[in-house]
Structure 1
């Protein structure tokens, strides 16, 4: 395995996915104390990133499943999930924290996958030319490195969410931050892509 390609793949992943660590930290904070929440977040992150990878690889071979004009509308996914999370936070604002945790159950795998895919939709445009020029063997290296680094990112998100000072802040403000971050991501994707003539 060419170490140069491994290094390039690791660098490309880190640069294009740095914002995912914040989102993952918020998801892990939301899932704290819920049985199976960590596993659902890992599964969701892998599902979402595998979808990004599949679309990018297919596009590198010339297949396009998602028209370029449709990509900005992926912003509707995190926007909708952000509004849902905001509604849940508002609905349970007067409940005790323990009761709130019991009713919410933490993030679901498909919600995490949807946010991951929508947030990484712009990465596809970066990955396609890189994959196309790397050839099949190089593309395989990129895919393996990316999938390994998804786990590293998940562990980093969990690590940050469990640091005492960060965990305290996220437990106090996470229910407000998660909807805000999701809504901001959704709006950013919609606006940067020119969806709805924005």
Structure 2
């Protein structure tokens, strides 16, 4: 296992997933105080990232499951989840209920986290495919292994930020507003950058 390939894999993962730390911190904050919520966030992150890896590996072997023109439309997933979370937060505020939708439901769901991770990774797929295609099977396995280890590091970082007193207090106070804004922003960015709907 070449140290050079490991270093490249670490760098590639960090560059393509830096925005995931904020999203993970928001999800961990939404699940604070709910039994099993942290495990669901981690499981959702792994599920979503395994989807990204599966598509990237398949594409590198020439069997693209998702045609390239479809990738920008993945932005509809976080956009829809963001609108749903924003609507619920507004409804709770209007009804005078201090709890957010995530608090009612026991925190984020595995499939919601996975959907956001996968949709946010549409650009990752575009970066990983040429790297995997030229790397060969052995190196591709190294990349995949390093990426999966780093998902755990990213989850730990997201949880760390979500549990720092100052950050946790801010996320507790504003997370129900920030999460929908971030999700809608990610969705719009994916749609616009990918030229979906002729944008």
Q: TM-score, normalised by structure 2?
A: 0.96
Deviation (angstroms), 1:96? 3.1
Question: How do 1:48-87 residues align onto structure 2 when only pairs under 5 Å count?
Answer: 48-87=48-87
Question: How do 1:69-108 residues align onto structure 2 when only pairs under 5 Å count?
Answer: 69-93=69-93, 94-97=96-99, 102-108=103-109
Distance 2:170 2:103 in 1: 20
Aligned to 1:156: 157
Aligned to 2:196: 195
Runs of 4+ in 1 over 6 A off after TM superposition: none
Question: How do 1:132-171 residues align onto structure 2 when only pairs under 5 Å count?
Answer: 132-171=133-172
Aligned to 1:19: 19
1:4 aligns with 2:4: yes
Deviation (angstroms), 1:100? 6.5
- Number of residue-to-residue matches in the alignment: 197
Aligned to 2:41: 41
- The structure-2 alpha-carbon separation of the partners of 1:102 and 1:120, relative to structure 1 and needing over 3 Å to count, comes to closer
Deviation (angstroms), 1:133? 1.0
Distance 2:71 2:101 in 1: 35
Deviation (angstroms), 1:49? 0.2
Instruction: Assess if the C-alpha contact under 8 Å between 1:79 and 1:187 holds in 2.
Output: yes
3-state DSSP of counterpart to 1:92: helix
Deviation (angstroms), 1:2? 0.7
- Unaligned 5+ segments in structure 1 are none
- The structure-2 alpha-carbon separation of the partners of 1:120 and 1:180, relative to structure 1 and needing over 3 Å to count, comes to same
Instruction: Assess if the C-alpha contact under 8 Å between 2:49 and 2:114 holds in 1.
Output: yes
- The structure-2 alpha-carbon separation of the partners of 1:182 and 1:100, relative to structure 1 and needing over 3 Å to count, comes to closer
RMSD over aligned CA atoms reads: 1.1
Aligned to 2:116: 115
- Unaligned 5+ segments in structure 2 are none
